[in-house]
C-alpha cells in the first residue's frame, strides 16, 4: 500500500463555483517534494489540511473532518472504464491518490500512517456537488456518482507530518464496528434507513453526518421510515442545495 501522488490546487476562476469570487480549488495536480499535512481547524474557518492546497468554498468544504481527501487509483480506474476517458491523479479533487488500500471500504475511525509521522483517520465519503459535476463536464454526474457510491474518503489529521509521493501507507488501527465510508455515504444519500447503523462509529464519524444520524433516530427511532426532513439539510447544502440522488430528474438536468 502506498501513496502514488500528493495533489494540490490553486484558486481558479470559473462560472460554476458557489464560492465567493467565483473561484474553485478543485483542479488539483501532483506536486513534488515533501508536503506538510496538519489539522486546518474547524469547518468554516479551516481550509485544506494539505500544505499548498486551496479550498475556496469554506461553507461546504475543508475543516478538520474534511482535512484531506483520498481516492484510490483503483477506483479512478473504475471510473475511467465507466466514463470511457482517461482520469489523471487529482482530477476528482483528491489530495491523495493511493494504491493498494481499499479506500471506499475503510472503516470510520480507521487510521493510516503515511510516511514516518502522518496519521490520518477516516471520517466519511465525499458528497458530490455541482462544482464537481461542472468540472468533469459529465451530464448527470451527481446522480451517477451517488448511485455507484465509489466516493473516496475524507480524513482528519490525528498526527501531523510531511509526506511525499511513494510513501508507504500502513493501517495502524481498525475499530471493532462495521461502519465503512461507503455505508455512511449510502446512509446520508439514498438509503436513509441505514442512518441508525452508522451511529456505531461514534465520535469518529464526521460531525455533520453524526448529527444527521442522531436527528433521524430522534425523529423516527432506530427502525423507521426514511426521513425527508430537517436532518437532510446539511447534506443538501453540501451538494449545493439538493440531496444527491433523491431527485433524479433535477440532478440529471444540472449544468
- pLDDT tens-digit readout, 204-251: 999 999 999 999 999 998 765 554 444 443 444 455 544 454 433 233
- pLDDT tens-digit readout, 26-60: 789 999 989 999 999 998 777 899 999 988 676 77
In a domain, 22, yes or no: yes
In a domain, 21, yes or no: yes
CATH code, domain with 85: 2.40.33.20
Q: What is the 3-state secondary structure (H, E, C) of the chain?
A: CEEEEEEEECCEECCCCCCCCCEECCCEEECCCCEEECCCCCECCECCCECCCCCCCCCCCCCHHHCEEEEEHHHHHHHHHHHCCCCCCCCCCCCEEEECCCCCCCECCCEEEECCCEEEEEEEECCCCHHHHHHHCCCCHHHHHHHHCCCCEEEEEEECEEECCCCEEEEEECCCCCCEHHHHHHHHCCCHHHHHHHHHHHHHCCHHHHHHHHHHHHHHCCCCCCCCCHHHHHHHHHCCCCCCCCCHHHHHCCC
In a domain, 149, yes or no: yes
In a domain, 239, yes or no: no
Domain containing residue 92: 2-182
In a domain, 100, yes or no: yes
Mean pLDDT confidence for 130-159: 94
Mean pLDDT confidence for 139-146: 94
pTM of the model: 0.86
As for how many domains the chain has, the answer is 1
Mean pLDDT confidence for 193-200: 97
In a domain, 196, yes or no: no
Amino acid at each position: 500500500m502506498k501513496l502514488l501522488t500528493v495533489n494540490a490546487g490553486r484558486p481558479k476562476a470559473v462560472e460554476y463555483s458557489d464560492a465567493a469570487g467565483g473561484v474553485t480549488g478543485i483542479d488539483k495536480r501532483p506536486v513534488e517534494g515533501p508536503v506538510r499535512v496538519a489539522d486546518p481547524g474547524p469547518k468554516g474557518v479551516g481550509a485544506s489540511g494539505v500544505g499548498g492546497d486551496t479550498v475556496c468554498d469554506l461553507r461546504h468544504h475543508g475543516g478538520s473532518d474534511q482535512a484531506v481527501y483520498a481516492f484510490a487509483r483503483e477506483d479512478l480506474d473504475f471510473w475511467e472504464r465507466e466514463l470511457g476517458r482517461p482520469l489523471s491523479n487529482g482530477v476528482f479533487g483528491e489530495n491523495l491518490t493511493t494504491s493498494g488500500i481499499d479506500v471506499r471500504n475503510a472503516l470510520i475511525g480507521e487510521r493510516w500512517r503515511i510516511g514516518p509521522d502522518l496519521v490520518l483517520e477516516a471520517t466519511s465519503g465525499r458528497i458530490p456537488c455541482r462544482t464537481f459535476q461542472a468540472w468533469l463536464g459529465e451530464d448527470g454526474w451527481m446522480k451517477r456518482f451517488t448511485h455507484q457510491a465509489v466516493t473516496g474518503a475524507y480524513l482528519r489529521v490525528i498526527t501531523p507530518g510531511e509526506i511525499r509521493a511513494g510513501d508507504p501507507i500502513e493501517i495502524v488501527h481498525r475499530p471493532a464496528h462495521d461502519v465503512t465510508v461507503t455505508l455512511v455515504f449510502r446512509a446520508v444519500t439514498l438509503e436513509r434507513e441505514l442512518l441508525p447503523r452508522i451511529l456505531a462509529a461514534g465520535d469518529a464519524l464526521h460531525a455533520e453526518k453524526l448529527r444527521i444520524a442522531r436527528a433521524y433516530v430522534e425523529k423516527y427511532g432506530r427502525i423507521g421510515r426514511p426521513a425527508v426532513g430537517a436532518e437532510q439539510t446539511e447534506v443538501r447544502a453540501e451538494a449545493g442545495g439538493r440531496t444527491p440522488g433523491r431527485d433524479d430528474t433535477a440532478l440529471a438536468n444540472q449544468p
